[in-house]
Structure 1
Amino acid sequence: MVSGMDLDLTLVRAFTTTAETLHFGHAAQVLGTSQQALSKRIARLEALLGARLLERAGGVRLTEAGERFLPAAQEALTAGQRAVDAARGDEPVVRIDTWGHLYSPMRTLAHIAETLGRPRLEPGAGRDWPTVAQALLRGDTDLGFGRVHPLPGGAEAGLAHRLVRLEPVDALVSASHPLANADALRPSDLRDSTLWCPAPLTRLDFLRHFADEFKITQRRDGPNLGLEHLVDHVRDDPSCSTLFPADTPLPDDSGLRSIPLIDPTPLYAWSLAWRESGPPPRLDAVLRACAEAGRTRRWLDRTPDRDWLPRTNVEDQ
């Protein structure tokens, strides 16, 4: 109740959509209404609350009251949707956006989903961590799953995360590569190779720190066109190498070698991320499933003097 009146979620949604877009025209389009109607809804909400939530002069921005109200307003909308789902008997669903697709996040998610049972995970494809972070902050998805690292300008502020898995990676080379017959390699052995990066290197925090740490100065990147393109490129270029999860099956192709990396073994960190204000209601169940799957499969085993993690790894935050 607000001043003896029910808080209308239609008004709340008008505010949160405008607060997230900071543009009345865009918000009206998202809501399928007119700017005039949208403005009236927000004015009505402000009158009910007795506080100005948005400043309209010189562009739209949140007032201090609006900043305080926004997280609780988003939670109210989430709770309202849960109530609707419960009344309808809909199966509980947790939306989860993944990134790091060439490293096959779905393999790990499949184990988590099997352990979880209910609620059901509904995976979606995120472009990269910055994109998923913004989707989480907007409330467009419930969880993110991939490699979490600091973002420019602290853009991840307002998000929490939990390390789920540390996955060893191998060196992937052509059968014609000079090191192809090695039983194992040190990361520094790759210094004379060109590190192939299957996306712009600015987006590949793990590979960038790996190359810097082990002084691999020759680097090339290209578009992420999927596993087949990555495999074809490495197979056809005996001067290059890349990193690939140790237990991920490769296509049946005798032109490739996957060689264990030792002294140290690089570990790729998979984490679960969510919005601190208004986390998904079934977060505890998902975290328990992650912990149980991790214990069973020893996902978090690590020996500091044997293994390597980038300095920006989530464990260091």
Structure 2
Amino acid sequence: MAGFFAFLGPFQSSFAFFGTVAVVLFVLLTCYFTLRSIFVFFLAETLGMTVPFKEMGEWAVVTGATDGIGKGYAFDLARRGCNIVLISRTLEKLKNVAQEIETIYNVRTKVIAVDFTADESIYDKIKEDLAGLEIGTLINNVGIGYPYPEMFHKVPGGEEFFVQMIRCNCVAQTLMTRIVLPQMVARKKGVVVNLSSAAGANPYPMLAVYSATKAFNDFLGMTCEQEYRDTGVIFQVIQPFMVATNLSGTKKTNLFVLDAKSYARSCLNTVGWFPRTNGHPSHAVQNWIVSHIPAIIRGPLMKAGMTKFREASIAKLKKKGLYKGE
């Protein structure tokens, strides 16, 4: 061993130099990204340094726009001056949300009622209804989740449910982007936001297909971001943790579980600054914690948590007489 250190002797000063440089660079980069995040999340909108969505195009299109995060995006884009195209399944709910947006923000709205779990024929109607509109922003929000965490082979609805989920979560983002992107490229400006999930960043046991579809959303958005970054079109991927929505199954908010409107506003402030983001400081902190847990520990912990969530969900369903499992 002494001989080994003697061999290293002439190189020790070089190792110390490069080690010091590496540490300094790490500290500087950490400070830069921390300060940049603080600026974007807390100061950018106040200083008028967010994307001018109205200048990107007269209309913003939001899928899954009648509830949750999608509704939050629709309201905040209207607040920023955009006319809003609301696309969702239930016509009555669409009309109610459209009326509310017009009353509060004095912008125009258009509604398109389609079921994104249906086959690809729905996109002919969407394309026809969007024809002639100058679309500057697309929020690919629509998606469905599991009724409760469950083992892959026991998920209610089986193969049909999985196909519907893939259509709603993956096909919708792909074909909606395909419809609106050409005009954005032609005008050399536009914004496309893909809602992914924290479940798309790491495998979530007992949400296998949902987690896989969200990973698809992430890769689709980030690959397009690389393809189109020199065209003037901004692509962004959002990876939320828990937000108080029907999809998440909770309405209670706290430091880490945000209401949908606040969350959407925070997300819109990050467009053009971060190509991929958790959308809000509290979610960024959660992501930092999760990402620093070794996978060999994270996997079993997440499975244990999902197992407890499954048991609690089934217990509630049984009380209501709605559980159709074992």
How does the TM-score come out when normalised to structure 2?
A: 0.23
Name the structure where strand makes up a greater proportion of residues.
1
Instruction: Tell me which protein shows more helix as a share of its residues.
Output: 2
Quick one: higher RCO (CA 8 Å, sep 6+), 1 or 2? 1
Using the size of structure 1 for normalisation, the TM-score is 0.23
